[in-house]
Structure 1
Amino acid sequence: MYVGLAIAACLFGLAALLNYTYAKSVIIFAWSCFLKPFNGAADLNDQQAALESFYQSQASIYDLTRSALLQGREMMLQLAASHLNTTMPVWIDIGGGTGWNIEQMDAYKKISGFKAVYLIDLSPSLCEVARKRFAAKKWPNVHIICADATAFSLPDDIKTADLVTMSYSLSMIPMFYAVIDRIEKILSNNGVVAVVDFYAQSTANLCGRSNLGGELLRHVNWFSRTFWRLWFEFDRVYLDPSRRDYLEYQFGTVKSVNSRNNLLGRIPYYIWLGCLKRRDSERARKIDAMATESPYLLPVSTSPELSVIDEDCIIAVRSKGYEAAAINLQRNFPLPSFFYQTEIWRIFYDERLAKYNQFAGEYIYAFTWEDPREDDRILKFKPTDTVLAITSAGDNIMTYAALPTAPHRIHCVDLNPYQNHLVELKLAAFSVLEYHDIWKLFGEGRHTNFGGLLISKLAPKLSSHALQYWLRNQKTFTGSKGLYDTGSTRWAIRIAKFIFWITGCSGDVENLCKATSLAEQKKIYDTKIRPAIINPWVASIVLRNPMFLWKALGVPMHQAEMISSTAGDFLTYITDTLDPIIERSLISSDNYFYYLCLKGRYSASNCPGYLKRESFTRLCKPGALDGIRIHTDEIVDVVARIRKHSVTIAIVMDHMDWFDTDGVDATREIRALNHALKNGGRVLFRSASKCPWYTKVYDREGFKCHAEQVREKKTSIDRTNMYASTWVATKIRDLNGESSVENLVL
Structure 2
Amino acid sequence: MSSIIDSSIYYKDTFKNLLFNNLDQLPESTFGQFLKYGALILSGFSFYFYFIASEKTRSFLLFIWACFVKPFTPTNRKVHNDHQNNLELFYKTQAKVYDTTREVLLQGRESAMKLAVAHLKTDQSSKKLIWIDIGGGTGLNIEKMDKEVAPIVDNFEAIYLIDLSTSLCEIAKQRVLDHGWNNVHIICGDACDFEIPHSEVDLITYSYSLSMIPLYHSAIDHASKFLKPDEGIICSVDFGVQSDSTSIGRINTLGGLVNRHVPWIYRTFWRIWFECDKVFLDPSRREYLEYKFGTLKSINCYNTTLGKIPYYIWLGVNKQHDSQLMYRFNQLATESPYLAPIEPKKSNAVIDAPTSKALEAALDNVKKGLPYPSLFYQKKTWRVYYDELSEDYECFKNQYIYAFTWEDPREDAKILNLSSKDTVLAITSAGDNILSYASLGSNAPKRIHGVDLNPCQGHLVELKLAALSTLSHEETWKLFGQGKIENFQELLISKLAPYLSSNAFQYWMDKGPKTFDINGAGLYDTGSTRWALRLARYVFKLTGLSSKVEELCNAKTLIEQKEIWNNSIRPILYSAVVGKIFVGNPIFLWKALGVPANQAAMMDSSILQYIIDTLDPIVGRSLISSDNYFYYLTLKNHYSPKNCPDYLTKQGFKQLTKKAPNSPLDGIRLHTDYLNNVLARLTKKTISIAVIMDHMDWFDPEGTDVDNEIDALHSALCDGGRVMLRTAALVPWYIKNFEKKGFKCHAAATRHSGTSIDRVNMYASTWICTKIGNKKERQMSTLTLNKD
Q: Same fold (TM over 0.5)?
A: yes
Partner residue of 1:231 out of 249, 273, 277: 273
Which residue in 2 is equivalent to 1:741?
none
Q: Which residue of 2 aligns with 1:46?
A: 82
The verdict on how the C-alpha distance between 1:485 and 1:290 changes in structure 2, with shifts beyond 3 A counting, is closer
Cα deviation, residue 551, structure 1:
4.0
Separation in structure 2 between the aligned mates of residue 541 and residue 328 of structure 1, nearest angstrom: 56
Partner of 1:121: 163
Partner of 1:243: 285
CA distance, structure 2, for counterparts of residue 266 and residue 259 of structure 1: 9
Q: Once the 2 structures are TM-superposed, how far is the Cα of residue 286 of structure 1 from its aligned partner?
A: 6.9
Aligned pairs for 1:252-267 (under 5 A) are 252-267=294-309
Give yes or no for contact 1:387–1:407 (8 Å, CA) kept in 2. yes
Alpha-carbon distance in structure 2 between the residues aligned to 1:241 and 1:507:
58
Larger Rg computed on CA atoms: 2
2:238 aligned partner = 197
Q: Which amino acid aligns with 1:424?
A: E
Deviation, structure 1 residue 540: 3.8
Distance in 2 between residues matched to 1:242 and 1:547, nearest whole Å: 51
Instruction: Using the TM superposition, give the Cα deviation of residue 668 of structure 1 relative to its aligned residue in structure 2, in angstroms.
Output: 1.1
State the partner residue of 1:110: 151
Post-superposition offset of 1:531 = 2.8
**Partner residue of 2:186?**
144
Instruction: Give the counterpart letter for 1:594 in structure 2.
Output: Y
CA positional deviation for 1:577: 0.6
Aligned equivalents of 2:587, 2:306: Cα separation in 1: 40
Match of 1:744 in 2: none
Does structure 1 retain, via aligned residues, the 8 Å contact 2:707–2:737?
yes
Give me the whole-angstrom Cα distance separating, in 2, the residues matched to 1:510 and 1:634: 41
Structure 1: gaps spanning 5 or more residues: 302-306, 739-746
Which residue number corresponds to residue 292 of structure 1?
335
Q: CA deviation at 1:521?
A: 0.5
Alpha-carbon distance in structure 1 between the residues aligned to 2:399 and 2:775: 38
Partner of 1:581: 618
Aligned to 2:702: 662
Query: What is the CA-CA distance between 1:543 and the residue it aligns to?
Result: 4.5
1:25 matched residue in structure 2: 59
Structure 1 Cα separation of the partners of residues 587 and 118 of structure 2: 44
Provide the C-alpha distance between the structure 2 equivalents of 1:735 and 1:544, rounded to a whole number of angstroms: 48
Structure 2: gaps spanning 5 or more residues: 1-30, 779-788
The structural deviation recorded for 1:77 is 0.6
Q: Quick one: distance in 2 between partners of 1:91 and 1:376? A: 50
Equivalent in 423, 429, 452 of residue 414 of structure 1 = 452
Residues 335-368 of structure 1, C-alpha deviations (whole Å, 9 max, x = no match): 0111110012111111111112221111111100
Matched, 1:478 2:514: no
CA distance in 1, matches of 2:615, 2:558: 14
In the TM superposition, 1:244-643 aligns within 5 A as 244-280=286-322, 284=326, 287-288=329-330, 291-294=334-337, 309=349, 313-315=351-353, 317-404=354-441, 405-473=443-511, 474-479=513-518, 480-543=520-583, 548-563=588-603, 566-567=604-605, 569-623=606-660, 624=663, 625-643=665-683
SS of equivalent residue, structure 2 residue 236: strand
1:122-175 per-residue CA deviation (whole Å, 9 max, x = no partner) reads 1111111111212111110001111111021212xx111110000111111100
Aligned in 2, Cα 1:734/1:461: closer, same or farther, shift over 3 Å?
farther
**CA offset at residue 561 of structure 1?**
2.1
SS in 2 for 1:358: helix
Q: TM-score with structure 2 length normalisation? A: 0.87
SS at match of 1:58: helix
From the two aligned structures, give the one with the greater helix fraction.
Answer: 2
| 1:251 partner letter | F
Query: Relative to structure 1, is the Cα distance of residues 353 and 614 closer, same or farther in structure 2, using a 3 angstrom cutoff?
Result: same
Q: Say if 1:581 and 1:665 are closer, same or farther in 2 by CA, change over 3 A.
A: same
Verify the 8 A CA contact 2:211 2:280 in the aligned structure 1: yes
Q: Secondary structure at the match of 1:187?
A: coil
Fraction of identical pairs, as percent = 53
| Structure 2 contact 338–686 (Cα < 8 Å) conserved | no
Q: TM (normalized to structure 1)? A: 0.92
Given residue 413 of structure 1, which amino acid in structure 2 is its aligned partner? Answer: V
Give CA-to-partner distance per residue, 1:577-602, whole Å, 9 cap, x none: 10111111111111110011111111
Q: How far off its partner does 1:573 sit?
A: 1.1
Q: Using the TM superposition, give the Cα deviation of residue 440 of structure 1 relative to its aligned residue in structure 2, in angstroms.
A: 1.2
Structure 1 residues 353 and 735: CA distance shift in structure 2, 3 A: farther
Provide the residue aligned with 1:708 in structure 2.
748
Aligned counterparts of 1:181 and 1:139: Cα–Cα separation in 2: 29
The amino acid across from 2:285 in the alignment is: R
Contact 1:701 1:735 in 2 (8 A): no
Report the Cα distance in structure 2 between the residues aligned to 1:571 and 1:19, rounded to whole angstroms.
Answer: 72
Structure-to-structure mapping, 1:642-661, within 5 angstroms: 642-661=682-701
Change (3 A) 1:550 1:161: farther
Answer yes or no: is the 8 Å Cα contact 1:290–1:314 preserved in 2: no
Secondary structure of 2:268's aligned partner? helix
User: CA–CA distance in 2 between the matches of 1:160 and 1:296?
Assistant: 34
Structure 2 equivalent of residue 178 of structure 1: 218
Q: What letter corresponds to residue 448 of structure 1 in structure 2?
A: E
The answer for the alignment partner of 2:94 in structure 1 is: 58
Give the Cα separation in 2 of the matches to 1:711 and 1:327. Answer: 52
SS at the partner of 2:162?
strand
Instruction: Report Cα offsets for 1:285-326 as digits up to 9, x if no partner.
Output: 67227621136889xx9xxxxx9737xx534x1222111111
Residue 8 of structure 2 aligns with which residue?
none
SS at 2:652's partner residue? helix
State the AA in 2 paired with 1:729.
C
